[in-house]
Structure 1
Amino acid sequence: MKKATLTKDEKNRLVALRKLDIIDTQPEKQYDEIAELASYICETPIGLISILDNDKQWMKACVGVENCEAENNFTFCQYAIKHEGNLFEVNDARTDERFRNKAFTFGDDPVVFYAGVPLRNKEGLTLGSLCVIDHEARSLTEKQRKSLLYLANQVINLFEIRIKNNTLRESQKLLKEKNTQLKNFAGVVSHDMKMPLANMIVTIDIIKAKYSKHFDESGLNYINNLKQSAFKLSDYISNILTHYESDSITEENALEEFDLNELLEDIVEMLDINEDCEINLPKKNLQIESNRVALEQIFLNLIGNSIKYNDKEKIKIDIGCSFDDFYYHFYVKDNGIGIPENKQNEVFNLFTTITEADRKGNKGNGIGLSTVKKIIHNLGGHIELESKLGDYTKFKFQVERP
Structure 2
Amino acid sequence: MITPQIPKNEKKRLEAVKSYSLLDTLPEEDFDNITKLTSSICQTPIALITLLDTKRNFLKSHYGLDFNQSPREISFCGHAIVSKEPIFIIEDATKDNRFCDNPLISEFNVSFYAGVPLINPDGYALGTLCIYDTVPRQLTQQQKDTLIILAKQVVNLFELRLKNNLLSNAFDLLEERHNSLNSFAGKVSHDLKSPLANITSLSQLFKDELKENYPELDLQYLDYIEESADTLRAYIDGILTHYKAEALLQDKKKKTELATIFNNIKHILSLTDQQFILQKNTILEEINASAITQIILNLVDNAFKYNTKKEAYVSINYSTSKTHHIFSVTDNGTGIETQKQDQLFDLFNTAHEADKYGNKGTGIGLYTVKTLVEKLGGEVKISSTSGLGTTFTFSVLK
Alpha carbons of structure 1 residues 53 and 230: separation in structure 2 relative to 1, 3 Å = same
CA–CA separation in structure 1 for the residues paired with 2:194 and 2:348: 27
- CA drift of 1:39 comes to 1.2
Is the CA contact 1:200–1:230 (under 8 Å) kept in the aligned structure 2?
A: yes
Is the CA contact 2:117–2:129 (under 8 Å) kept in the aligned structure 1?
A: yes
SS in 1 for 2:14: helix
CA–CA separation in structure 1 for the residues paired with 2:341 and 2:262: 34
Alpha carbons of structure 1 residues 284 and 147: separation in structure 2 relative to 1, 3 Å = same
Amino acid at match of 2:92: D
Q: Is structure 2 residue 353 aligned with structure 1 residue 357? A: yes
CA–CA separation in structure 1 for the residues paired with 2:327 and 2:169: 38
TM-score (norm 2): 0.84
Amino acid at match of 1:387: S
Alpha carbons of structure 1 residues 341 and 73: separation in structure 2 relative to 1, 3 Å = farther
CA–CA separation in structure 2 for the residues paired with 1:392 and 1:375: 20
The aligned residue for residue 275 of structure 1 is none
CA–CA separation in structure 2 for the residues paired with 1:248 and 1:330: 21
Alignment of 1:143-162 (within 5 A): 143-162=142-161
SS in 1 for 2:218: helix
CA–CA separation in structure 1 for the residues paired with 2:253 and 2:217: 53
TM-score (norm 1): 0.84
Match of residue 301, structure 1, among 293, 298, 307: 298
Alpha carbons of structure 1 residues 388 and 292: separation in structure 2 relative to 1, 3 Å = closer
- CA drift of 1:397 comes to 3.3
Is the CA contact 2:39–2:45 (under 8 Å) kept in the aligned structure 1?
A: yes
Alpha carbons of structure 1 residues 175 and 218: separation in structure 2 relative to 1, 3 Å = farther
Q: Say how many residue pairs are matched.
A: 390
The aligned residue for residue 22 of structure 1 is 22
The aligned residue for residue 318 of structure 2 is 321
Deviation by residue 1:354-388 (Cα, 9 ceiling, x = unmatched): 5363445754323213433555578x564422435
The aligned residue for residue 270 of structure 2 is 269
Match of residue 380, structure 2, among 381, 384, 393: 384
CA–CA separation in structure 2 for the residues paired with 1:100 and 1:188: 72
Q: Is structure 2 residue 110 aligned with structure 1 residue 101? A: no
CA–CA separation in structure 2 for the residues paired with 1:27 and 1:389: 64
Alpha carbons of structure 1 residues 227 and 75: separation in structure 2 relative to 1, 3 Å = same
Is the CA contact 1:267–1:299 (under 8 Å) kept in the aligned structure 2?
A: no
Alpha carbons of structure 1 residues 59 and 339: separation in structure 2 relative to 1, 3 Å = farther
Alpha carbons of structure 1 residues 252 and 129: separation in structure 2 relative to 1, 3 Å = closer
Alignment of 1:234-273 (within 5 A): 234-247=233-246, 259-269=260-270
Q: Is structure 2 residue 369 aligned with structure 1 residue 372? A: yes
Alpha carbons of structure 1 residues 159 and 287: separation in structure 2 relative to 1, 3 Å = closer
CA–CA separation in structure 2 for the residues paired with 1:342 and 1:356: 11
- CA drift of 1:189 comes to 1.1
Is the CA contact 2:41–2:143 (under 8 Å) kept in the aligned structure 1?
A: yes
CA–CA separation in structure 2 for the residues paired with 1:251 and 1:218: 55
Deviation by residue 1:237-288 (Cα, 9 ceiling, x = unmatched): 1122222223555668997876344334324526x9xxxxx85622223467
CA–CA separation in structure 2 for the residues paired with 1:217 and 1:132: 100
Alpha carbons of structure 1 residues 365 and 21: separation in structure 2 relative to 1, 3 Å = same
- CA drift of 1:73 comes to 1.3
Alpha carbons of structure 1 residues 25 and 373: separation in structure 2 relative to 1, 3 Å = farther
Task: Structure 2: state its 5+ residue gaps.
Answer: none
The aligned residue for residue 79 of structure 2 is 79
Is the CA contact 2:261–2:293 (under 8 Å) kept in the aligned structure 1?
A: no
State percent identity of aligned pairs.
36
Alpha carbons of structure 1 residues 177 and 339: separation in structure 2 relative to 1, 3 Å = farther
CA–CA separation in structure 1 for the residues paired with 2:313 and 2:337: 13
Report which stretch shifted further, 160-169 or 124-133.
160-169
